[in-house]
Amino acid sequence: MIQLYITLLTGLIFNTSYKPSYEIEQNLKPNFIVVFVDDMGYGDLGCYGHPTINTPNLDKMAYEGQKWTQFYSASSVCTPSRAGLLTGRLPIRNGMIGKQTRVLFPNSKYGLPDSEITIAEKLKESGYKTAAIGKWHLGHKKEYLPLQHGFDYYYGIPYSNDMDRINSETCCPGSQYWQKYENQKPKSTNYNVPLIENNEIIERPADQTTITKRFTDKAVEFIKNNKEDNFFIYLAHNLPHTPLFASDNFLGKSKRGLYGDVIEEIDHGIGLIIEELKKNNLDKNTIVVFTSDNGPWLPFETHSGSAGLLREGKGTTWEGGQRIPGIFWGNGIKPGVINDLGSTMDIFPTLLEMSNTSMVYDRIMDGVSIKNTLLKHEPSKRETIFYYRSREIYAIRYGEYKAHLITQGAYNYPKGSDRKIILDKPLLYNLNIDPSEKYNVADKNPEILVEINKILEKHKKNLKAPNDLLKDREFGS
């Protein structure tokens, strides 16, 4: 405090233009680390209300930075949610959403089109070193891997950690899986998932018991090796997607069971990354984002997460499917709890604007820069959220209201809930008052439904979906 006073006084005496450190750092291009976990629910962190999962590092990030309470993924399942984040566009626009099967599989022919522009490709234009670490799920063939989409380095698995099952009986889905592993841990060797470095398979099957630690270690290593340059790290943990695995140091440590062990190991890794930033004096010029690809995979019961007070989970267009934690931390981020609307697609233009990188103007972009909300608490400019399921719009949020046009459960959990219902009259919920979507207020607000219908018609008119890509790119083929 005394030193600050002396500095200010000296500046006045000698008529120099003193700038607080906040402004100085804002003149630099920041580094970026985006942590994107898999299937973690809205209610799975201590700072979002979980009573028995300990997440001290993420809680501290939320306290020192911003915690967004109305932050959304681009989709409620894996592949399209990742395409949305990395391109800043709705998956329907870039063809990364299947009609029958909604995600890519080991037998899928295609991946993220070369015509799409990723955050990594744009940041490389500004001299950034780029790394993708963790789950990719945007095409497992060489031509679709991260190095072909703007990343200098890749270390991770190409699709979900439950794919390439070796023994279907021991790796069964749904409640049978939960019953089998209720009192024992799954076997990593039951899944023939490859671990890839750059373009080459280096381990198969990947040892998933140590995979969270190894992803963290690779992120720390990349920071060390590129501390003299600007860098962008996309750290996409493949957990807590089932099957769940934790390393020996965390196994059996959480009151929440195996699922809690997994989350607490991820949180520990976040702490190691921030520690490395501070060790190299990079915390003053690095923005860290933490979020999830979609909500919890509820059929796996105690091996799945929680959406908290939100309705349903992964795979659905209810709030529990797409509303996810959103934490932003770093020097210059104005601390606070943000109740404005935000989306993972907003990360794309925000990082570009913060790094003085040119925007993309040759196509429709769905991301909205939230730079001024992060730095100044200016209101977010986002007004709408589109909830796609496969290639149909099931729901639309406009301001505080959300209208459901179609409803459907996911994964037949609970049994009989998977029936698709096209509504004669939309359901309408005020999500500021009723985030659990319990009380239909359509009859009391007909004018809101009129406005939402206008938004829907405008969106369809300007969609310009790549029909040539969608036509022949069914994910399961």
d(C-alpha 59, C-alpha 361), whole Å: 37
Distance of CA 48 to the CA centre of its chain: 16
Q: What is the extent of the structural domain holding 216?
A: 29-382
Decide if 305 is inside a domain: yes
The whole-number pLDDT of residue 100 equals 82
The whole-number pLDDT of residue 18 equals 31
Q: Which helix (H) or strand (E) holds 58?
A: helix 56-64
Residue at a domain's end among 318, 348, 382: 382
CB contact at 8 A, 93 and 465: yes
Q: Are 376 and 391 found together in one domain?
A: no
Decide if 22 is inside a domain: no
Q: Are 199 and 84 found together in one domain?
A: yes
Q: Are 423 and 284 found together in one domain?
A: no
Closest-CA residue to 198 (of 245, 158, 138, 253):
158
Decide if 109 is inside a domain: yes
Positions in the chain whose pLDDT score sits under 70:
1-27, 167-185, 465-477
Number of domains, the chain: 2
Decide if 415 is inside a domain: yes
Q: Are 346 and 416 found together in one domain?
A: no
The whole-number pLDDT of residue 63 equals 98
Q: Are 299 and 414 found together in one domain?
A: no
Count how many residues are written for the chain: 477
d(C-alpha 449, C-alpha 333), whole Å: 36
Which tens digits make up the pLDDT trace of 363-409?
A: 999 999 999 999 999 999 999 999 999 999 999 999 999 999 999 99
Q: Are 308 and 395 found together in one domain?
A: no
| Strand pairing report for 384-389 and 336-343 | unpaired
Q: Are 278 and 296 found together in one domain?
A: yes
Q: Are 286 and 416 found together in one domain?
A: no
d(C-alpha 67, C-alpha 54), whole Å: 17
Strands of the sheet with 421-430, listed across from one edge? 384-389, 392-398, 401-407, 421-430
> What would the DSSP string read from start to end of 319-378?
HHHHEEEEEEESTTPPPEEEEEEEEGGGHHHHHHHHTTPPPP-SS-------HHHHHH-P
DSSP 29: P
Q: Are 101 and 152 found together in one domain?
A: yes
Strands of the sheet with 200-203, listed across from one edge? 200-203, 195-197, 153-156, 129-134, 231-236, 31-37, 286-292, 323-329, 66-72, 336-343
Decide if 19 is inside a domain: no
Residue 412 gets the label, from left (phi > 0), alpha (psi -120 to 50) or beta, of left
d(C-alpha 344, C-alpha 323), whole Å: 10
Decide if 334 is inside a domain: yes
Decide if 14 is inside a domain: no
Integer CA distances (angstroms), 457 to 50, 223, 318, in order: 39, 46, 21
User: CA torsion sign, 405 to 75 to 408 to 97?
Assistant: positive
Q: Are 360 and 401 found together in one domain?
A: no
- Where do we find the tokens 């080459």? 200
Decide if 237 is inside a domain: yes
- Where residue 260 sits, what CATH number does that domain have? 3.40.720.10
Residue at a domain's end among 327, 348, 382: 382
> What would the DSSP string read from start to end of 159-215?
S-TT-SBS-TTTT--HHHHHHHTSSSPPPGGGB-PPEEETTEEEESS--TTSHHHHH
Q: Are 67 and 190 found together in one domain?
A: yes
Q: Is the peptide bond before 414 cis (omega within 30 degrees of 0)?
A: yes
Catalytic residue IDs: 78, 137
- Where residue 426 sits, what CATH number does that domain have? 3.30.1120.10
Q: Which residues contact 127 (CB under 8 A, 6 or more apart)?
A: 229, 230
The whole-number pLDDT of residue 129 equals 98
Q: Are 118 and 259 found together in one domain?
A: yes
Q: Which helix (H) or strand (E) holds 12?
A: helix 2-13
Residue at a domain's end among 382, 397, 432: 382
